[in-house]
Amino acid sequence: MYLPRSLISTLYLHLQRTHHPLSPPVLILVALEPDALCGCRILTQLLKRDYIPHKIQPIAGYGDLEKAGRNVIRPMMESQGGSGGVVVCLGVGGLIDLGGLLGIEAEGEDTNYGGVEVWVIDARRPWNLGNVFAGFPIPPPVEDGGELVGQRPQGVDGGKIQRDYKPGKGGIIVFDDGDIEEELDAERDAFLALVDMPEVEDDGDDSEGSDTESEDEDVPTHSRAGQKRKSWSDRDEEDESSEDEDRPRQRRRSNSSSSIPDSLTRPRQRGLLSMSGPSAIASSASRSVSPTPAQPPKAPSARKLRRRLLKLRRKHESVLQAYYSLGASYSEPISSMMYSLASELGREDNDLLWMTIVGVTSMELYGRSSVGVAISTSKSSSPKGWLGTRGSRIRQLLRDEVRRLNPPELSDSSLSGNRNILPENSGIIPTTARSPTDNSIRLSPEPKFLLIRHWSLYDSMLHSPYLSARLHIWSETGRKRLHKLLAKMGVSLVQCKQSYTHMDMELKRGLRTKLLKYSEMYGLDDLVPAADTDGRDRGGTKEGWGFVRSWGWRATLSAQDVGVVVGAILEVGKKAISTLESGNDRGRDVKETTDEDGTLEGEEWVGRFWDAYDALEKIEELKSALPTAQHLHRAILRTGTSLIEKRQIRHLRAFRMCVVKDGPDVTLFTHPSALTKLALWIGEAIAEQERESKGKIGHGGRGTPLVVAGLNENRGVYVVVGTGGGGGGGMGFGDRHAAKEKKEKREAKAKARELKKQNKEKVREQKREARRLALGDDADEEDETESEDSESSSDEDSDDEDDEKSQVRGFGRNKFGNAFQEVVEETNARVRIDSFEHCVVEVKKEDLAGFLESLSMKAVVG
C-alpha cells in the first residue's frame, strides 16, 4: 500500500504518539550511497528530538537484506514471540517483493506481517507493484451465507492509505513522492483486477472451439466444486513453463549464493474471494448479461467464460509487463522526501537542509536521472537539471529554503541597499566564512570544476568530467586547449597551479567574467551560471547556482565537495590510500582468504559506511578524507585516458564496451559506484567525440550506451556496469525534440482523422437521404453497421495513439537491468545480481566473453 504525499507525516505522528519506554527501537535499513545516508541523518535527527530509540543497519545488497530479514526483522513478529515494530528502508528494496524477501509475509496465517510495519522510501523506479497496491495485513475472514469471505482492510482503498487508516498493525507502506498517484492509474487498475479475478488454469488452449463439448471436460481439475483452489503462489512452479511469456516477473538474481526469491509480479489472491469452480466463473462473467423477461439468453458455456477470463487476465498482465519493461529511472531523492517530512512536522533547520542539499547534489554525481544511470548527451539552454522539471523545482525550493533559514545579518551591506558588494553576488566563489561563528548556507556561482577550494585551479579544471569531455583532456591536444583557455583568460600556469585559496585576489574576482567571455569559444556554455546585466540573478531565482556552507574558520565547502568526499569514503575508504599507492600487495595477501561470495568485501563496505556517516557531521573527519576523493578522481582521469588513448573501447552491436583489468588503479574500480563514475566519465567523452565527428549524437539522440567491466582479481569476477547515453524521460535534453516531433505528429493525425470523419459524415448523410427516399426505414440496419465500422476505425486510431504514447513514456531509459536478467535466463553464465542498482552485476571471469556476446543482442536503452 502507499502513503500519498499529502499524508506524509501521518505515520511518524502515530509513532510519536504511541511510543513508550518499552517500545522496540525503530530499525533503519540504509543503502550504501550518499543520498540514502543523508536521508538517514535527517530521520535520526527527528527521532532523537522525540526521544525515540532507533538502530541503524547498513545494507550492502540483497544478500544483506535477506540476512537482516532472517536474523533481525522476522524475530520482531508477534507470531515469533516479538512485539512488532517499525522498519524503515531507505534506498533498499523498492524494486522487489519485500514481504517475501524479509520473511514477514507468511502465507496461510490469520494475521500477516506480525505487527511489523515496513516504510519504504526509495528513489529507484520501477516500483514493485505488489508493495505499492498490496502489502496490507488481511483481517480474519467472516462467515457469510455459510462461506468464509475475506474482508477489506479499513482505511485502504485501492492500495491507497486514507485519512482513517490506523497504523501499527503491520504491512508494507511505500512513501509516494507523487508518481504513483499521477502516473500509475492503469497499472493500479490492472493489478487490482488481477487480485479480484477468479482462478482459472491457463493451459495455452484458448482458441475458439465447439461449445458442444462437455462442460466437465472444460473445467480445470483443481477448480471443481468442493475442491480447494490453488493460489497464485501455489502454482508458481507449475505454470512457470507455460506462462513464462504471458505474465510479468519481478527482477531477480540467478546463480547467486544469496538469490532473491523468484516471485511473480502478478498479484496473489489474498482471501478476497471465496467462490471456486464453474459457479464462481459463471457468476463473475455473467454480470454483464442482461436477460429479457420474454426470452432469457442462453448462459455462456464454461469454456467460453474461461476464454474470456484468460483474455482479460492476459490484457491486465500485459499492462504490468509494459510497466516493468520501461527500464530503470530515478524520481525524487530520499533526502528530499525526508526533508518534506521534517517540514510537515515543523522541524526544518540548517543542519537538515544541508543534508538534503548534499543528498540531492550527489544524485548528479552518480548520473542518476529520470532515465536511470546515464550521461547528459547534449547542451541545453534550459536549466532543467538532472531530473527534468521536477529536479528544477526541487532545486528552486532548496534555494528558497536557504534564503528563508539564512537571512542576511544586520551587519551585511545588503540591508544598506547594495547587495552586489557581497562576494558571491559579484561572482566570486566564497572560500571562507564571514565570521568565526558563521555556520550559514549560501548560494554561490559555482563553476563545473572539481574540489576547486581544495585543489589548484589547474587540477580542478583538469579533473572536471565536464571539461575533460569537451576539451578532450585525455589527449595532448586537449591539454593544449586547456592551457590556451587559461592563457586567454590571463592566468599563468604558475598562478593556476598553486592552491586556489592562495591565488591572487584580483584573478579570483575576475574569474567568472573571464570564463563567461571565453567559454563559448570552446563549447562550454554551461561551465558557469549565466551572468546578468545588473550583476544579480534573474528575478532572484539564482538558477544554476550551487550551495556552500561554512563551519566558522575551520572550513567552507560546497555541497558538491561534500558529495564527492562522502562518495569517495564509501567507495575507497579513508585508510586505503597508503596501501593502494604502495601497490596493495599487503592488502591483497590479506584478502586472498576465500571471499568468492563477497562476504568480506561487503563487511568492509559497511565499515566505510560508518566513516561516511561520521564525516557528514564532523567537519574534521570530512576534511581528512579530501585526499581520498582526490586520489579517486586522479585514478578516473588516468584510467579513462589510458582506455581512450590505447583504443580499448570496442563498439558492439548495441553498445560500446571496455574492460579495466590492468594498471595501477584496477583495484579501485572493484566497487560498483567507483566503476560507475569511470563509466560516466568515458561515456561523456564518447558522446562529445560523436557530436564532433558526426555532428549529432547516435542512437536517435539518446547517446551510445556503454558497458564497463572491472576485474576483481581476489574474487575471480568482473564487476559490470551499464550506463545509458542519456536523453528521454524529461531530462530536458535531446528527448525534448523527439517528444515535440511525436506530439506534432499526433496533433496532425488527430486533425486528419477529424477531417476524414467530417467528410465521411457528409457522404453518409447523402447516402442515408438517398436510401430513405428509395427504401424508407429499412436502411436503419445498414446505417448501424456503418456506425460500427466507424467506431472500429476510431478505436484503431486510438490504439495507435496509445502505443505512441507508451513509446514516449519509456524513451531513452536504461534497460541494462532487464537485459542482464534475460542473458542470465538464456545462458549458463555464472552471474550474481546483488546490487540495488540493477544495471550492475558480477560475472565470473571465465564467463565474461559469452555474457557480453549475448548482451550485445539485447535492447539496452528504451
Report the distance separating Cα 773 and Cα 769, nearest Å. Answer: 6
Report the distance separating Cα 90 and Cα 174, nearest Å. Answer: 11
Same domain membership, residue 119 and residue 98: yes
Report the distance separating Cα 273 and Cα 405, nearest Å. Answer: 54
Q: Is the pLDDT of residue 654 over 70?
A: yes
Q: Is the pLDDT of residue 326 over 60?
A: yes
pLDDT at 289: 38
Bond before 627 cis per omega within 30 degrees: no
pTM of the model: 0.79
For the ranges 351-355, 579-583, 663-667, 711-715, the maximum mean pLDDT occurs at 351-355
pLDDT at 333: 94
pLDDT-derived band at 336 (thresholds 50, 70, 90) equals very high
In a domain, 721, yes or no: yes
Averaged over 498-505, what is the pLDDT?
Answer: 87
Percent of the chain with pLDDT over 70: 73
Report the distance separating Cα 170 and Cα 493, nearest Å. Answer: 64
What is the CATH number for 834? Answer: 3.10.310
Task: From 177, 194, 229, give the residue that closes a domain.
Answer: 177
Same domain membership, residue 130 and residue 51: yes
Report the distance separating Cα 33 and Cα 837, nearest Å. Answer: 11
pLDDT at 547: 94
Averaged over 13-35, what is the pLDDT?
Answer: 93
Same domain membership, residue 244 and residue 216: yes
Same domain membership, residue 120 and residue 256: no
More confident residue, 58 or 533: 58
Same domain membership, residue 833 and residue 701: yes
Task: From 528, 546, 569, give the residue that closes a domain.
Answer: 528
In a domain, 545, yes or no: no
In a domain, 199, yes or no: yes
Which of 685, 663, 704, 648 minimizes the C-alpha distance to 475?
Answer: 685
In a domain, 79, yes or no: yes
204, burial (CB in 10 Å: exposed 0-12, middle 13-18, buried 19+): exposed
Mean pLDDT of the chain: 78
Same domain membership, residue 775 and residue 654: no
DSSP string, 291-303: --SSSPPPPPPHH
More confident residue, 206 or 597: 597
pLDDT at 699: 53
Q: Is the pLDDT of residue 250 over 70?
A: no
User: What are the backbone dihedrals phi and psi of residue 392, each rounded to the nearest 5 degrees, phi first?
Assistant: -65, -40
In a domain, 639, yes or no: no
Averaged over 123-129, what is the pLDDT?
Answer: 93
Same domain membership, residue 35 and residue 16: yes
Q: How many structural domains compose the chain?
A: 5
In a domain, 724, yes or no: yes
Averaged over 589-604, what is the pLDDT?
Answer: 63
Same domain membership, residue 101 and residue 74: yes
Task: From 499, 528, 557, give the residue that closes a domain.
Answer: 528
What is the CATH number for 28? Answer: 3.40.50
Residues 6+ away with beta carbon under 8 Å from 726: 369, 371, 374, 375, 376, 377, 378, 687, 702, 703, 733, 734, 812
In a domain, 157, yes or no: yes
Q: Is the pLDDT of residue 91 over 90?
A: yes
In a domain, 542, yes or no: no
Same domain membership, residue 191 and residue 75: no
Same domain membership, residue 229 and residue 123: no
- Domain limits at 795? 735-805
Same domain membership, residue 217 and residue 90: no
Same domain membership, residue 799 and residue 819: no
